[in-house]
Amino acid sequence: MALKHLKGKTAIITGANSGIGLEAMKVFINEGAAVIMAVRNEEKAQAEKNTILAGHPEAKIDIMHLDLADLSSVRTFAEEVKAKLPILDLLINNAGVMTPPYSKTKDGFEMQFGGNHLGHFALTGLLLPLLLQTEGSRVVSLSSLAHKGAAIDFDNLDGSKGYKAMKFYGQSKLANLLFAQELDKRLKQHGLPTISLACHPGISATNLFKFGKSDAPGWMKTLMHRFLQPPAMGALPTVYAAVNPDLKGGEYIGPEGKGQRKGYPAIDTPHASANNEAVSAKLWDVSEQLTGVTFSFSTSE
């Protein structure tokens, strides 16, 4: 898969300081793209940037603070990006939290739905004017195998009526997939060339797998890396979605191996839970209401 057309392109990757986001960034950098690392932990991002620059001194890497669990941070980030960039080729909605104890974002949303979905929903809407004026632009949103069998519980989005961490993680990842599909649908309805895609990494050994507030113990990491694919492989569906010229928008990309857990990327089929157009439309409306971000599909802004 030729990636040379990334030369001169600009990409924003949320959560680019570790795991899949970091591995995808390395590919983009190697192929000549400029990357903005949109991260909460700027110190960790700087350390990764320094490591990359040591072996690739021509790399164009910028670090910008973004907290997806704080809508004021999302708005500030978007304004700073629009002041800095005339165009934006790629927005990679990668960052995420997985199965934390019950907690809320700064705006009062359940942490996984708020950070994984609503933060990225707002970010995409605020950056859409830049994307729409960029030829060949794409939005890639990361979902997960956890979307299978998940549902959007509109009566308990904040978890106040009960919270199960994995159930709410699945809900947030289903929301990511529904959003990616609905965004592409609306872009096409308006005759716009920007496309939206979803992808998932299979099961990868990334730092999403945390135990409480600490990293996995050493023996667990050894097992994880033996049975799960490394982050570099988990990042390939992201890269595939971002650069494959044959994709038309709306596709869902994941590993092609058994159970879509491991392997090289290919077009995958979402679970039936992701095929409900009424739920997709309702999720969109609720997301606009909760974030206060309304998408404008006009290229005149």
- Contact indicator for 255, 265 with CB cutoff of 8 Å: yes
**3-state SS of the chain: helix, strand, coil percent to 5?**
45, 15, 40
Three-state SS for 135? coil
What pLDDT score does 211 carry?
A: 38
- Contact indicator for 68, 95 with CB cutoff of 8 Å: yes
What pLDDT score does 202 carry?
A: 79
- Contact indicator for 199, 252 with CB cutoff of 8 Å: yes
Chain centroid, CA 123 distance in Å? 11
In a domain, 295, yes or no: no
User: Could you say which residues of the chain have pLDDT below 50?
Assistant: 1-4, 207-214, 220
- Contact indicator for 162, 156 with CB cutoff of 8 Å: yes
Give the span between the Cα atoms of 130 and 82, in whole angstroms: 7
What pLDDT score does 258 carry?
A: 54
What pLDDT score does 204 carry?
A: 63
pLDDT digits (tens, 9 = 90+) for 148-194: 889 999 999 999 999 999 999 999 999 999 999 999 999 999 999 99
In a domain, 257, yes or no: yes
What pLDDT score does 223 carry?
A: 53
CA distances from 236 to 169, 192, 281 (A): 22, 26, 30
CATH number at residue 43: 3.40.50.720
- Contact indicator for 242, 140 with CB cutoff of 8 Å: yes
Dig out the tokens for 22 from the structure: 């970091």
DSSP state letter for 114: I
In a domain, 90, yes or no: yes
Chain centroid, CA 86 distance in Å? 22
In a domain, 105, yes or no: yes
Does 240 qualify as catalytic in the annotation? no
Q: Taking the CB of residue 155, how many other CB atoms lie within 10 A of it?
A: 6
Report which of 1, 160, 12, 135 is spatially closest to residue 80, judged by C-alpha positions: 12
Amino acid at 244: N
- Contact indicator for 255, 204 with CB cutoff of 8 Å: no
In a domain, 248, yes or no: yes
CA distances from 156 to 103, 151, 167 (A): 14, 11, 12
- Which residue reads 């069998």 in tokens? 149
What pLDDT score does 53 carry?
A: 98
What's the total number of domains in the chain?
A: 1
State the catalytic residue, choosing from 163, 169, 240, 252.
169
What pLDDT score does 210 carry?
A: 43
Chain centroid, CA 159 distance in Å? 23
In a domain, 206, yes or no: yes
- For residue 61, the cross-strand partners are 35
Q: How many CA atoms lie within 13 A of 28 on its CB side?
A: 31
Residue 35, domain extent? 4-290
Amino acid at 222: T
What pLDDT score does 233 carry?
A: 83
- For residue 10, the cross-strand partners are 34
In a domain, 232, yes or no: yes
- Which residue reads 């990511």 in tokens? 176
What pLDDT score does 234 carry?
A: 82
DSSP state letter for 229: B
In a domain, 299, yes or no: no
